[in-house]
Structure 1
Amino acid sequence: MSSRSQGPLTAAAAPKINSLRVIEKEPLIPYHIVLSIFFSAGLISATFATIPDCDEVFNYWEPTHYLSYGDGLQTWEYSPVYAIRSWLYVGVHSLVTLPFSFVPSIDKSHIFLILRTILAGTASVSQTELYDTLSRSISPGVGLLFVLISVPSAGMFQAVPAYLPSSFAMYFVMFGMAEFLKTPVSLSKALTYFSVAGLLGWPFSLALVVPQLLLWVFEEGKARGVISMVQRMIWSIASPLVVLAVVIGVDSLAYRKLVFVPLNIVLYNVFGGSERGPDLYGTEPWWYYFANLSLNFNIMAAAAFASILLLVITLAILQTSVTGQQFVLLLPFYIWLGIFSLQPHKEERFMFPAYPALCINAAMSMNWVKDFALFAGSKLKVQSKVASALGTTLVAVVLVISALISTSRTIAITTAYSAPKNIYRVDQNISGNVCFGKEWYRFPSSYFLPAGARPRFIKSAFAGLLPGAFAETNTPFRDGTWKVPENMNDLNQEDYSKYIPIESCDYLVDSYFSGRGEHAGSLEPNYILESENWDRVTCHRFLDAAQTPFLSRALWLPSVVYRDQRVWGEYCILKKKQKREA
């Protein structure tokens, strides 16, 4: 049965959800071309995307730098006392970049870009696999729309190259969804992909397998019987059990104690208690993700939100049937949005695993809009070719507008907030202690510092727990994976041993925004203005978000269309002046 209507059906036709799988169709664009498109977009994002979340740096880039080079910053999550971060996860990424570290002409900042490119390449393969199976099992039109929605979106631009478990989970969720869409379904392979997403990536992503797994149980039980279905499921969990064993084994070896990191993550985040848990790091209102997704996907977010409503209209008005696959594909986005909207602690990266599901929902909505146009045309006695052309034009216009808004959003972010990375992209002989005060959370990682430089912190107005430093070693064995660091806690309580005095800083990274006074008395002075103590090494402009109107900081618009109202500050590397002897 076709996955979409070939035209309005008669009024006598009964609306229903059909459990049968559709006959495969050929994708509209060849696999290799779509792969090239996705990879090209990923390469651009790997090169220009900012690092908006300090967790990406301190929990993943820094431990990877430690495994690769023997030094780096350590958060409390990597203390064996808590063990809620996986050494297997960062170890895999460290091994991937190992061959490049032996090339003399490649410095650490190049390794940073290489790893991002590898992540983008993995994402592009998973996106292409999902496109291909959507085209064959749902419809070529839905597959094409998935590409046209995903490629320009500001959300995917940020998520694809991010070195985060939520992005990693996103890749393998797409692989898993693609396997469930194939006929016949390779349950073992599909469950393996989801187990990698959940056990090696982010455990909460396992929630996304539930709708497709339930559909498989229903279809398999109906076609072959319950006993056969149960037997096949039992045989199919062998590979996920191997993934589980590897995760527990490698992490236990690294921590030198038996640990199950995914379980520790769930216990901390869900059952941490009132005194600890993610809420210590901030809470947001229930509508946070609705606003955030609207910024990152604009019109397509609205289309995804409305997909269930459009499904109901399709069943009721168009009198057409919808396959079980189509219905089930709509559910993961709603499940994920519901689960995480209920959590007080919210962050943009938490939505990454559901971004492909959002794009699928939006693609199916746009496909149904085109069907509605054909239906309306038949009611108005318009020729089917004309109605079809009008529907296609309407969808194309919406897609173009959405792509332009997303591009505007991407340009706004990259031009406004790239200074924390760009200030290191000059030939500098930086060494010694490179200090961070109020700009501690924008440090882009030790990959941007030469071998002789170390990141250090000075006291600022921030009163939470900052990372410490791994015990440095020149041997291939990194003892910091199992040694219990001093002065760590899971209550976000400030530890003054993490600071050094300003007099011990050789360099300082700081920002300055005119029109703002000094914060918290003398804790955050405007070091950039202290020319008697500091020389400017490199400065780049950086958006003053507090003084820039919302529209100007949310979107970039050409000056011929909209007067640029952005207010800029400075973001600098400063070098301590040598005091002359009297």
Structure 2
Amino acid sequence: MAPAVRQRNQYNGKRELKKLSGRKPPGMGRNEEVPSNPNPADMGIVYPSGDTAFKALLSARFCAAIWNYISDCDETFNYWEPSHYLLFGKGFQTWEYSPKYALRSYTYLLIHVVPAWLYHQLLQPNRLLIFYFSRCLLGLLCAFCEVYFYKSICREFGVQVGRLALAFLVFSAGMFVSSTAFLPSTFSMYMCLLSLGAWYQRKYELAIFTTALSTFVSWPFAALLGVPIAVDMLFRRREIFKFFQWSLISVLVILLPMVKIDSLYFGCLVVAPLNIVYYNVFTSHGPDLYGIEPFHFYFVNLFLNFNLVFVAALITPAMLIIVTWLVPSKPRNSACLPYWLSLMPLYLWGTVFFAQPHKEERFMFPVYPLVCLCGAITVDAIQKLWFRFWVRDMERGTHYLTHTAPIMVVAILISSLLSVARILALYNGYHAPLDLFMELNNLSTEKKLPSEQTINVCTGKEWYRFPSSFFLPDNRWQLQFLKSEFRGQLPQPYSSLPHATSAIPPHMNDENREEPSRYFDVERCHFLVDLDLGVSTELEPNYAQQTDRWTIIKSIPFLDAARSHKFFRAFYIPGVSSKFCSYAPYNLLQSTRFKWGKKEVPSPTR
């Protein structure tokens, strides 16, 4: 690094540290001290300022907004589709949005829909641009929350842990997947960044309010992350009045307006968080109807998303105990939270959710930032141990970071390379559905399609990879479901009548029973989307081989996981993964039974 650049970075580092370690942050008691940490800038150690951190995080989140695929059909049908209905009057409805059950909240949807509506009214973009605009807004919000969390880490745990955590946040595949997903668990992750960040800065009012936002608006089970904050306030600080005061304020400011809005949309009194808790906890089946996973499911998933950082986070409590015993150091500032309390949210969350039979990747989203934090603390502990046992006595008068920087660099480098390899594997393997449905927008401009006719885009076994109606050119285009081997309940379109959100739709149940009313006649399909795995059944024929009925107009490779090597399908290695992975064509088929443009397509011979 050039001397001038290093000098400027050191100056920026000192200036930022002054922001991070002021005498008394808002919300702290009059006689309480701010946690003090050594000033690395005085030793020539460079670390990112808040502005630099924001630029890095925002770049990563915009990449996720553009390149990330939709990994969960719940995101499509429970959030993108109702949002499309609110914007354009057409979309799919799931049983959770039936007034009879009312598990979901329209208030949560409106937080995302209002900016999209303003964008649509001002610029009149096509629907695909609205989809990516919404994603970019989510990425922007995530970056803001992460910067706040990063500054709080620097204050509570030191800038060394802070810069490690920042590097893990920027590059991790887990944050890439979760940061721009339209899911309540992602919103809870944003609020977790703010609530824990506020807690680490002793801004208890903000910590309570953002925890309540997460609990009421997005996911009631996220209240679990606020338990350590409550323990700190009620039992350590004895601020009982402030805790209940701000809890009441949160109920009045958040929950009551939310109940009012949801009740207007559903046409009856609805408290969506209570309905979610009742269904998942107090019904005989709970969410287990939608599948159960073995105990090790989250271990595998978190390793894929965070690789060695997750392993480091698992052993953080043990590493802290070892460092306390073996590394002589000055006592930690009494104003700091004890480690067992400040890191409790991650392990409390893991204890509860690892034990649940029904497991999904998105259930871990709220604690993804804590995985990065705990991983950073472990790497820092390894550096201290290395300095304690491998640095000569004559050099121990210097700071441990001076002699252990290679450990930090190696940790960041290995975790980042593995994370990038994972991100590339996800993009190369699973991005085809989004690219294929984009082709429909090209067809609407290139072909002379009938202006008054409904155009049916059909799908069978690939129904759960539909990216949303935002990928359909306009309201004339309609996704239709073909009968397949799937035996659960599919969503159905919202009613075209006024006040459809408050009407109880027919043929819906809360037991995931198959509803035959969802299925469409394949003879009436204009286009069909299907994955050709080279196998077929009576209900899932190989449509691409029916050349007298279908013509392939677009085909994109899609990972055939069953025929691919487990490691190379999980991590993309340039020049190597292609030799060990198999890809199947993800096809957009056009029917030969309909007229397109000026020429008439001959009917197939029967």
Q: TM-score, normalised by structure 2?
A: 0.86
| Whole-Å separation in 2 of the counterparts to 1:383 and 1:489 | 68
Q: 1:265 aligns with which of 276, 287, 309?
A: 276
The aligned residue for residue 456 of structure 2 is 433
| Whole-Å separation in 2 of the counterparts to 1:288 and 1:488 | 31
What code does the residue aligned with 2:544 have? Answer: I
Question: Quick check: 1:508 aligned with 2:528?
Answer: yes
Question: Quick check: 1:411 aligned with 2:458?
Answer: no
The aligned residue for residue 190 of structure 1 is 207
Question: Quick check: 1:469 aligned with 2:493?
Answer: yes
Change beyond 3 A, Cα 1:316–1:74: same
The aligned residue for residue 31 of structure 1 is 50
| Whole-Å separation in 1 of the counterparts to 2:434 and 2:161 | 38
The aligned residue for residue 51 of structure 1 is 70
| Whole-Å separation in 2 of the counterparts to 1:319 and 1:570 | 61
What code does the residue aligned with 1:524 have? Answer: E
Could you tell me how far 1:230 is from its partner in structure 2? Answer: 2.2
Residues 50 and 418 in structure 1, CA contact (< 8 A), matched pair in contact too:
yes
| Whole-Å separation in 2 of the counterparts to 1:380 and 1:156 | 41
Question: Quick check: 1:398 aligned with 2:445?
Answer: no
Identify the range of structure 1 (239-248 vs 335-344) with the bigger mean alpha-carbon deviation: 239-248
| Whole-Å separation in 2 of the counterparts to 1:436 and 1:390 | 59
The aligned residue for residue 281 of structure 1 is 290
| Whole-Å separation in 2 of the counterparts to 1:375 and 1:104 | 61
Question: Quick check: 1:572 aligned with 2:587?
Answer: yes
Q: Is there any run of 5+ residues in structure 2 with no aligned partner, and where?
A: 1-31, 41-46, 595-601
Q: Which has the higher contact order (CA 8 A, sep 6+)?
A: 1
Could you tell me how far 1:386 is from its partner in structure 2? Answer: 9.2
The aligned residue for residue 529 of structure 1 is 545
Residues 369 and 391 in structure 1, CA contact (< 8 A), matched pair in contact too:
no
Q: 2:244 aligns with which of 234, 257, 268?
A: 234
Could you tell me how far 1:218 is from its partner in structure 2? Answer: 3.8
Change beyond 3 A, Cα 1:438–1:235: same
| Whole-Å separation in 1 of the counterparts to 2:37 and 2:215 | 30
Q: Is there any run of 5+ residues in structure 1 with no aligned partner, and where?
A: 1-18, 222-228
Give the 5 Å matches for 1:91-490.
Answer: 91-103=110-122, 106-182=125-201, 185-221=202-238, 229-241=239-251, 242-273=253-284, 276-320=285-329, 321-322=331-332, 323-378=336-391, 382-383=395-396, 385=398, 388-426=401-439, 427-429=442-444, 432-451=455-474, 452-472=476-496, 479-490=499-510
Residues 568 and 577 in structure 2, CA contact (< 8 A), matched pair in contact too:
no
| Whole-Å separation in 2 of the counterparts to 1:158 and 1:193 | 23
What code does the residue aligned with 2:480 have? Answer: R
Residues 329 and 360 in structure 1, CA contact (< 8 A), matched pair in contact too:
no
| Whole-Å separation in 2 of the counterparts to 1:179 and 1:129 | 8
| Whole-Å separation in 1 of the counterparts to 2:141 and 2:339 | 26
Which 4+ stretches in 1 moved above 6 angstroms? 24-27
Could you tell me how far 1:147 is from its partner in structure 2? Answer: 0.5
2:437 alignment partner, SS class: coil
What code does the residue aligned with 1:418 have? Answer: H
What code does the residue aligned with 1:361 have? Answer: C
| Whole-Å separation in 1 of the counterparts to 2:341 and 2:224 | 13
Change beyond 3 A, Cα 1:81–1:382: same
Aligned-residue RMSD, C-alpha: 2.0
Give the 5 Å matches for 1:542-581.
Answer: 542-559=558-575, 564-578=579-593, 580=602
Could you tell me how far 1:137 is from its partner in structure 2? Answer: 2.5
Residues 289 and 337 in structure 1, CA contact (< 8 A), matched pair in contact too:
no
| Whole-Å separation in 2 of the counterparts to 1:103 and 1:179 | 35
Change beyond 3 A, Cα 1:377–1:410: same
Identical-pair percentage: 34
| Whole-Å separation in 2 of the counterparts to 1:352 and 1:151 | 15
1:279 alignment partner, SS class: helix
Deviations 1:368-404 (A, max 9, x none): 1111122113576555559644422112102201110
What code does the residue aligned with 1:236 have? Answer: W
1:564 alignment partner, SS class: helix
Could you tell me how far 1:563 is from its partner in structure 2? Answer: 6.3
Could you tell me how far 1:533 is from its partner in structure 2? Answer: 0.4
Change beyond 3 A, Cα 1:238–1:142: same
Could you tell me how far 1:248 is from its partner in structure 2? Answer: 1.3
| Whole-Å separation in 2 of the counterparts to 1:61 and 1:432 | 21
| Whole-Å separation in 2 of the counterparts to 1:381 and 1:306 | 31
Q: TM-score, normalised by structure 1?
A: 0.90
